[in-house]
Structure formats: C-alpha cells, structure tokens
Amino acid sequence: QLQVQESGPGLVKPSETLSLTCTVSGGSISSSSYYWGWIRQPPGKGLEWIGSIYYSGSTYYSPSLKSRVTISVDTSKNQFSLKLTSVTAADTAVYYCARDNMGATGSFDYWGQGTLVTVSS
C-alpha cells in the first residue's frame, strides 16, 4: 500500500523559507504516469494547489505562487520537497503532499496526513 508522509518544521518566521519534504513508501516515486503534488489548506478556507512534479523533474506551479515556490525530487531517497520563500502569515496552512494518479490532472489518490505550518515570529 502506497503511503506518503510530510515532514518539516511546524513554525516558520515571516520572510523566511518554508521547507517540507514528502517521503513516499510502498511504491516508487519514479513510476511512470504519476505526478506528485503539494496542496495546502489555510485555516477556515478551501484547498489550494501549490504545484506538481514528475520524477524526471518536470514541474508545474500555481501562477499565484510561482515566484516563490520550488518543488524538487530526489529519486534516490523516494522523496520530493517544497520550498516557499518570503513567507507571511497568509502562508499559514495545513500542507499536504499527494500522488496524482492521472498525470498532472489534479486527481490525487494518495495523500499524506498533512502538516500544519504556522508563520509567526
């Protein structure tokens, strides 16, 4: 059974960089046809797609976050990572990593449990 799990600091200071890693187990991140994505949910708000990556390194980013986001993949560790720079309180959210089962379509079938990241000094 595939599992994905987020890890990283739960507290980030304003203007600093948020960094999270997603570890994939029970399957290979290098499997063809799958993209791997980051999604977040600010408190009291809906789901927001951040970006997705293929094992080859090909990426798609949300236009509203593109200037601050980098998603990378480490196939040797079966992990992919998120970096979000210059964070503000508006970036406080539960961050999820997930597998897109139909290429880059938004059809995320396996999700991590989510990790709350709070931006505060």
Catalog residues that contact other proteins under the rule CB under 8 A: 37, 39, 46-49, 51-52, 60-64, 96, 98, 101-102, 104-109, 111-114
Token match 């290429």: residue? 103
Q: What is the DSSP track for 64-109?
A: TTTTTEEEEEETTTTEEEEEE-S--GGG-EEEEEEEEBTBSSS-EE
Which is closer to other proteins, CB of 15 or CB of 64? 64
Which is closer to other proteins, CB of 74 or CB of 109? 109
For residue 68, what are its two tokens? 């601050």
Which is closer to other proteins, CB of 68 or CB of 111? 111
**Can you tell me the distance from the alpha carbon of 75 to that of 60, in angstroms, rounded to the nearest whole number?**
18
Least Å from the CB of residue 4 to other proteins: 9
